[in-house]
Amino acid sequence: MHSLVKPVFLDLPQEILLKIAVFLDPVSLVRYALACKKLHDMYQDLLKLRYDIELHINGMVDKEDSKTPMAQRLSRLYDLRLGWKDLNWKNMKEVDLGTYFMPNHPPEFAAGVVAISSEDSLKVIWLPSAEGNGRMVEHHSRSAHIPIGDFTIDPTQDLLVLLNDHIRNDTARVHLRTLSTNEDHPLALHPILTYKTYEDVFADQRGRRRHVKIRIVNDILALFIDDFWSRLLIWNWRNGVIIYDSKLELDITIKNFTLVDHESFLLTANSDIGGALLLYTFDSTSLSGVTPVLVARFGLPPIRSSFRVKVSIEAAPLHAKSPDDALFSTSPTSRIYVVSISYIREEEQDYRKVHSSYELFVHHRTFKKYLDGYTIRDKERSTEADPKLPPLEVAWANWGEAETRILSCHPVPWSRHMHGTRVVHVKNGCSIDVLDFNMERTAYFGCKSEANARVCTSPSIVTDDVFLSEVVTKLPYGLSSMDFGQPYHIYMVDNERLIAVDGFLQTVTQVNYFIKSLDVHLF
């Protein structure tokens, strides 16, 4: 019977066979292409089309010079989309740190690598993947004679950036090291970058350690210091040129920052009218220093005068290239920004006693639209007649409802609970929601979906005596829920992993987390 059916099917005209193939899912396409040479040859163009579509749906870009057959890559994309939809991972591997590890800095997670620091060492963990078991190395501060303070990583460039906590002669040092071996980075013309500090002018009198945020995008390295007067420094880390140093020029309300891409960034302002996001652009190729241009100021929900606001912002790291073991990577334009907003009563002296907290989600396309618009306006203007374009003032009423989503939350001290357009939203220690703001991907939630996956298109309406009026937001998202059945304190996420960190909390301060192991759930 089979010998008769097969020739009849293959003898159909090619245009009919291709029309049939259009209705096949990627897994079936792969099966037929691998089973029959004629179908394989005929499906090649169609397979490329399906692969490009699936990349677009998932907000991914292909890995350059990939040796993996396209059919296998397509099947992997399809598996990942379905696995994340229902939080149905294929495997779980535990990474044991060997002992309880008390980090002095939030763990860094990028391109499949977790780095956790203590006072005298740095554990670097290449996490297990679908293809391998991973590995772990430990760098000791005494071996390189560099005290381990704030740091960040880009595994795709084998880059470890260490801020030296020991300041000499009012000069701070930033070390550019290899992540794998903790040696001077070979691509850094100057493996130690320096800058003058102002601690003699503005000493910390509040009894707390300064908050320092370090971010990397390709050859751009940015260092943001949250002090009495915040400061932003931007280098080209490869040639050692300092592109921008705000020194003491930032407004006193500026308290947080993130890079948007290699030539733009966002600052947050804790203004008394509700806070704001400030979008800047700068010339990343400058060799003599630049002054960033304020493109737009985005107002946040207006608040009553009896409250103060504290705003911070975070987005997933941007990689210079695809990780070595990845078949594809997240597109730099497929990102969600998480704006954490806390409100404190005006009479409250302890800034940790929060009245209410929210997370505000903004897609990258919102900021990209204004950056592209600025570029067009800048080209059209007359430089001599108008040497500087004024920033756009975007009131909350003109952008917030359609382009954001606000949800109540508990403050998360760790900033790696997001990747691309996915965010882990912790409900309690055992239960999480995974929010996905890629609506082309979540459109498939309605197809054979389990009860734990749905699309949220109804508006979120927040009524809180903090606000002058109710806050309505409508940015749609997909929602998948999971109850682990056991408590975890930290969650991290990337394209193929959901990492739940096991440990215990001694006090309410983040520096007293003790980490014992990482449970890596592989999709």
Q: Which pLDDT score is estimated for 334?
A: 96
Name the pLDDT band for 509 (thresholds 50, 70, 90).
Answer: very low
- Dist. CA 301–CA 468, nearest whole Å: 8
Its sign, for the CA torsion 131, 481, 516, 315, is positive
Q: Is the pLDDT of residue 206 over 50?
A: no
Q: What is the dihedral of CA 255, 256, 260, 264, to 10 degrees?
A: 30
Distinct helix (H) and strand (E) counts, the chain = 9, 34
In the predicted model, is pLDDT for residue 143 greater than 80? no
Domains annotated on the chain, with CATH = 2-85 (no CATH), 91-522 (2.130.10)
Residue with tokens 């008390």: 102
Looking at beta carbons, which pairs linking 369-372 to residues 24 or more positions away fall under 8 Å? 370/279, 370/295, 370/296, 370/394, 371/260, 371/264, 371/279, 371/281, 371/295
Q: What is the pLDDT of residue 26?
A: 61
Q: What is the mean pLDDT of residues 3-10?
A: 62
Average pLDDT over residues 38-57: 81
What confidence tier does 490 reach under pLDDT thresholds 50, 70, 90? Answer: confident
DSSP 8-state symbol, 405 = E
Residue 86 Cα distances to 419, 431, 445, angstroms:
17, 14, 9
Amino acid letter, 407: L
How confident is the model over 283-340, as pLDDT tens digits? Answer: 999 988 899 999 999 999 999 999 999 999 999 999 999 888 889 999 999 999 999 9
Q: Which of 215, 299, 197, 300 minimizes the C-alpha distance to 264?
A: 215
CA distance 53 to 178: 37
Task: Give pLDDT, residue 144.
Answer: 65
